[in-house]
Amino acid sequence: MKNKQLGVTLTGLMVSSVLIAIVALFGLKVVPEVMEYRTIMSAIKKVGSASNASTSVADVRKAFDRQADVDYITSLKGEDLDVTKDGGAIVISFEYEKRIPLVANAILLLEFTGSSKE
């Protein structure tokens, strides 16, 4: 017969369950925002590679808006883009922040920046 019992106590199970719930809360709220950021990066790289030196800023913004409609991008519009020319190439950059409410008055602030040059 064993003198010691092996296993998880009720307290250990409750603490680990709370930790898992907190990680899941963050994950379920942060992962969609990071996925949208990656979609935005992909969209500006597509628009940047399709543009040439004679493309106007308005055309680049319209092209991004069309791509944003296809990819369901809601955090950024074409008017929010900073479009410049660097050595004859179009460089598209952006910067935005996302506030994610967690519990009561606690929020999580995510700041996203990117450029087609990266």
pTM for the model stands at: 0.81
Cα dist. 89→13, 53, 54, 68, 115 in Å?
57, 6, 9, 22, 13
E strand segments, the chain: 82-86, 89-103, 106-115
- Compute the distance between CA of residue 76 and CA of residue 95 in angstroms, rounded to an integer: 9
**pLDDT tens digits for range 30-39:** 999 999 999 9
- Compute the distance between CA of residue 24 and CA of residue 19 in angstroms, rounded to an integer: 9
- Compute the distance between CA of residue 106 and CA of residue 61 in angstroms, rounded to an integer: 35
At 7, is the pLDDT very low, low, confident or very high (cuts 50, 70, 90)? Answer: confident
What's the confidence (pLDDT) of residue 90? 87
pLDDT above 90 for 50: no
